Structure 1
Amino acid sequence: MISARMMLSALACSSAALLAGGAMAEPVEKWCEGVRIAAFPGGPQGGVFANNVYNGFRQAELDLGADVTYYFSNWDPNLMLQQIQQAVATGVDGIATYGFAGEDATGPIVQQAYEQGIIFTTLNTSLRDSQAAYGPNGFGYVGAPNYDAGYALGAEAAARAEVSEGDKVFVWGLRSQGGDRGQRTVGVIDAFEAAGLEVIYQEIDAATNANPNAGTATFVGLMGANPDVKIVVTDHGGLTSNVGVYADAAGLEPGDVYFAGFDMSPNTAQAVQEGYQNLVIDQQPYLQGYLPILNICLTEKYGFSGLDINTAGAFVDATNVDAVAPLAAVEIR
């Protein structure tokens, strides 16, 4: 298999020849045809967020002509790690996956992949040490800078909800998850504590991580024990999509509690329109699927270095949800 370094050398020679002859490259359809890629949507097949990533993967596969195999992991970092190892063993040309398992567990597999000539790149959750080592060889990142995104959501929610020092807020997140993913929850908590708020924290358990409905009793119990909670943050796209269910089960009306969370979905758009969900930071997961496939194709075919793209640049609320809702309905936004 031709390495990225060899490809760059060959391209330099060919570019010089093109310039000398005055030739111009012509656009090519399906220019990534024949490149085999293992892609990881993250959650269960058809699940919230995972489906947006999957839709991005599939569109890139269609546009570029790559041969893509999909691995669904039920948001389980250990299962995902096993599947990544399986993908490396198959000798694909590239792997696009999350960094959920963290650097210590995933870094050796990244090294093995590059030693075998496999391009490895990440989405949603970064592996910054691996990216620093292999960025010139195609290792990129498409997603949010997770701590910063968490802090931004917490700070924005505190400002908009007009809370006072000492007020209670509930953060339902994944602080204990390894690596960069847990830092998003840490960012939310840090923002609230900087605003002088009392944080009640609940780790999302494995059952709720895989199926948000499994967390309904947890939410009802916590809110019953803390009826003075002013803000609830759901640090998980699936849980954010279920806010209407949680609120109804807890006997909450729109406006009783300020709900903030991550990621658009059809249910989340509806909850914003109905007044249950107040603020959403949109990571644009469709791009987290599409762009890593493009990244791998650009590196494999042309020797480009890895992309590094922040997809979480906007909030969705009642003022702009109507523009986003039709795209959320077809799981593009």
Structure 2
Amino acid sequence: MKKKVLLVVMALILVLSLINIATAKEQKHFTGIRITFFPGGNPGGPFASVVYRGARAAEKDLGCKVDYVWSGWNPDKMIAQFKDAVARRPDGICIMGHPGVAAFAPLVDEAEKKGIIVTSQNTSLPPIEEKYKSRGFGYVGQELYPSGVTLAKGAAQRAHLRRGDRVMVWGLLGQETRGLRTKGCVDTLKKMGMKVDYIEISDAVNGDATLGTPVFTGYVSSHPDVKLIIIDHGALTATAETYMRASRRRPGSIYIAGFDLSAATVDAIKKGYVGVILDQQPYLQGYLPILQVCLTKKYGFSGLHIDTGAALIDKTNIDFVAPLAKQGIR
């Protein structure tokens, strides 16, 4: 008799556990919504991996199903992949805006006609955002040109530059929209009276920061008087210590400024190889676009425009955010 009672109790416990599991699943607000998400770079990259973690956290928290598409920061590849995503007809697509308005506009029109919600992160597409804001097209990321201005001013001040000093900006002016951040850096330094050299980040270096070593060392050896180098790329900023060591330069002998936090960048700041970075909080650029699509799909909310890039981080405040960078959150 006791065995029968025990078996009944165990069966009830099992049934209740299954009910609790089912209820927990039912409590996810956005179960059943399908989203295609672009983290931007390559799996494991210092910036794209943080974006990915944010998106994965949103997927887990909200209950939606997300497919991730990696592009190696290649705008042409992003366009081809977007076309493929539209053909699969998900509920929403979260895009990186690097290819620019001209390339994306007709494709977003097509997606919207098919009832697909589109929103953006990292690189804004203002005319498209304005056109489809009421249908959920938002933006999560830095304001590009102002971010460049902010970093250039902060770096010049910290490096104690004087009018006529030589500086170099290594960036992406060749990309229609993404290049606005580079332009903000260049314009600001020129207005301050600096002698500005500019190097475009090649497609190869854009996809693999280690390939930038000979570019950096070659420039530094031919311009030994350079006082400041601004690197407009998160993965390249994370590789700055490697570049400096390869150039046989001591920490701080050239003031390096860049963008985005990573474990490598934290170490470089602490060692003095990197002076200051602007943190655009890529985790939010992963989490919030997923939430945007879910809110629009279920409740019809319009697009939200969220600026994530405002904080300058240097040796005076790195200790606060360093543990979060190690975890891949900042």
Task: Name the TM-score, length of structure 1 as normaliser.
Answer: 0.91
State the shift of 1:163 in Å.
Answer: 0.7
Alignment partner, residue 61 of structure 2? 63
Q: Contact between 1:29 and 1:64, CA under 8 Å: does it hold in 2?
A: no
Equivalent residue runs for 1:17-166 within 5 Å: 29-166=27-164
> How many Å separate the matches in 2 of 1:250 and 1:30?
53
Q: 2:290 aligned to 290, 293, 298, which one? A: 293
Unaligned ranges ≥5, structure 1 = 1-27
Matched residue count: 305
> How many Å separate the matches in 2 of 1:164 and 1:137?
49
Residue 200 (structure 2) pairs with residue 219 (structure 1): no
Q: Contact between 1:54 and 1:286, CA under 8 Å: does it hold in 2?
A: yes
Alignment partner, residue 167 of structure 2? 169
Superposed CA RMSD: 0.8
Unaligned ranges ≥5, structure 2 = 1-25
Letter in 2 for 1:299: T
> How many Å separate the matches in 1 of 2:135 and 2:261?
33
Instruction: Give the 3-state SS of the residue equivalent to 2:30 in structure 1.
Output: coil
Q: 2:206 aligned to 189, 204, 209, which one? A: 209
Task: Name the TM-score, length of structure 2 as normaliser.
Answer: 0.91
Equivalent residue runs for 1:180-259 within 5 Å: 180-259=177-256
> How many Å separate the matches in 2 of 1:196 and 1:331?
38
Identity of aligned residues (%): 48
Alignment partner, residue 321 of structure 1? 318
Instruction: Give the 3-state SS of the residue equivalent to 1:81 in structure 2.
Output: helix
State the shift of 1:29 in Å.
Answer: 3.0
Letter in 2 for 1:211: D
Letter in 2 for 1:97: I
> How many Å separate the matches in 1 of 2:313 and 2:128?
32
Alignment partner, residue 11 of structure 1? none
Instruction: Give the 3-state SS of the residue equivalent to 1:46 in structure 2.
Output: coil
Q: Say which is worse superposed, 150-159 or 130-139, in terms of deviation.
A: 150-159
State the shift of 1:294 in Å.
Answer: 0.4
Letter in 2 for 1:325: A
> How many Å separate the matches in 1 of 2:36 and 2:252?
43
Runs of 4+ in 1 over 6 A off after TM superposition: none
Instruction: Give the 3-state SS of the residue equivalent to 1:229 in structure 2.
Output: coil
Alignment partner, residue 258 of structure 2? 261
